[in-house]
């Protein structure tokens, strides 16, 4: 089997660490593994691994012999470094928001639109974590009966805000209530504000779900409205999703469609207290769907509860799955 040199950019972050773990778990055919940090001024050995300092000046040289780049260094850094890596011949899979809405950059969830990788020009974008798990659940329904409208409320874990947010949450769980990573104390609280406000009074996170869903599903007619909330959960995002379809989809049909969908596990037995929980989704690869029921207020509506590990399927796993598609389709 051919092997591929892989570079992880943003290795010191929560997603970068998860990318490293998943590459090893899934036995990706790694030749040489390079770990890059844009926050270091010089190459440094940390925990037995060499972390290479990466910057605009050395990026072309660093990526000259790297075939796959898994990027999660922040959008501002990716905008500068990713094109340099791609120009050096590396297939960049970028987990930031830098290129997601670029018409020339595929935005890919392997269970939903794997064919889009074939038109990449060096960079493939990984969608937002909250969008990924939602479209995995929407895809089988949309294929059966076109979705007209989606109303989603998210319950997003603190790990989605990065390593500093994780530490702040852990500190608050021990009684230290200093607030730096969030707008307010997150312990014993909910914060209906993720990312920066937009002119329409939605947040950037909410508008990501709107625009990314349309692009991934190849359907600009799907109406999406979102409210994104940070909750005191360490890991795994949850979403209450209400959809309206063109033709009626019964609960029974929806369950059957989801049970046969790739990357989906249905946990749906309300009388016996069986439904997806973020605590149980941690460390798992699938998107979990439950509380599936018909919306009695409209003729063709469904409600679902969707839970997935935001660091795995919502970020690192999705990126590695894209790399696996590139290998399988001989695109690198």
User: Catalytic residues, which ones?
Assistant: 129, 237
Q: For the chain, what percentages of helix, strand and coil (3-state, to nearest 5) are there?
A: 35, 25, 40
CA angle, corner 129, sides to 81 and 220, nearest 5? 95
- Residue bearing tokens 């009684």: 175
Dihedral of alpha carbons 27, 30, 31, 37, sign = negative
Mutual angle of helices 251-259 and 129-144, in 10-degree steps: 120
The tokens describing 271, both together, are: 């009388």
| Whole-angstrom Cα Rg for the chain | 20
* Largest CA-CA distance found in the chain, in angstroms, rounded: 61
Nearest to 86 by CA among 45, 120, 126: 120
The tokens describing 137, both together, are: 């659940």
Which DSSP string corresponds to 94-157? E-SSSSTT-TTS-B--TTT-GGGGGG-SSEEEPPPHHHHHHHHHHHHHHHHS-EEEEEEEEEE-
Question: Cα separation of 300 and 322, whole Å?
Answer: 34
């Amino acid at each position: 089997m051919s092997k591929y040199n892989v570079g992880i950019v943003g290795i010191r972050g929560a997603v970068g660490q998860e990318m490293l773990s998943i590459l090893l778990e899934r036995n990706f055919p790694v030749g040489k593994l390079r770990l890059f940090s844009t926050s270091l001024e010089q190459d440094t050995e940390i925990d037995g691994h060499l972390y290479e300092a990466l910057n605009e000046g050395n990026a072309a040289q660093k990526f000259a012999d790297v075939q796959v780049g898994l990027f999660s260094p922040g959008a501002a850094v990716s905008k500068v470094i990713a094109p340099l890596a791609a120009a050096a011949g590396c297939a960049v899979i970028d987990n930031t928001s830098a290129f997601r809405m670029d018409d020339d950059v595929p935005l890919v969830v392997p269970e939903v639109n794997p064919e889009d990788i074939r038109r990449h020009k060096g960079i493939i974008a990984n969608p937002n974590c909250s969008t990924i798990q939602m479209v995995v659940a929407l895809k089988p329904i949309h294929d059966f009966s076109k979705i007209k409208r989606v109303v989603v409320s998210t319950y997003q874990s603190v790990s989605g805000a990065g390593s500093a947010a994780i530490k702040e949450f852990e500190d608050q769980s021990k009684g230290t209530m200093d607030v730096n990573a969030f707008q307010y104390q997150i312990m014993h609280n909910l914060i209906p504000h993720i990312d920066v406000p937009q002119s329409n009074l939605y947040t950037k996170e909410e508008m990501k779900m709107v625009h990314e869903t349309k692009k991934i599903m190849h359907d600009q007619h799907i109406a999406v409205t979102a409210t994104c909330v940070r909750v005191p959960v360490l890991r795994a995002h949850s979403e209450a999703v209400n959809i309206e379809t063109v033709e009626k989809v019964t609960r029974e049909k929806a369950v059957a469609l989801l049970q046969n969908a790739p990357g989906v596990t249905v946990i749906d037995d309300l009388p016996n207290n069986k439904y997806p929980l973020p605590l149980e989704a941690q460390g798992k690869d699938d998107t979990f769907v439950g509380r599936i029921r018909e919306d009695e207020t409209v003729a063709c509506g469904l409600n679902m509860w969707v839970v997935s590990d935001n660091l795995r399927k919502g970020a690192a796993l999705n990126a590695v799955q894209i790399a696996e598609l590139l290998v399988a389709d001989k695109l690198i």
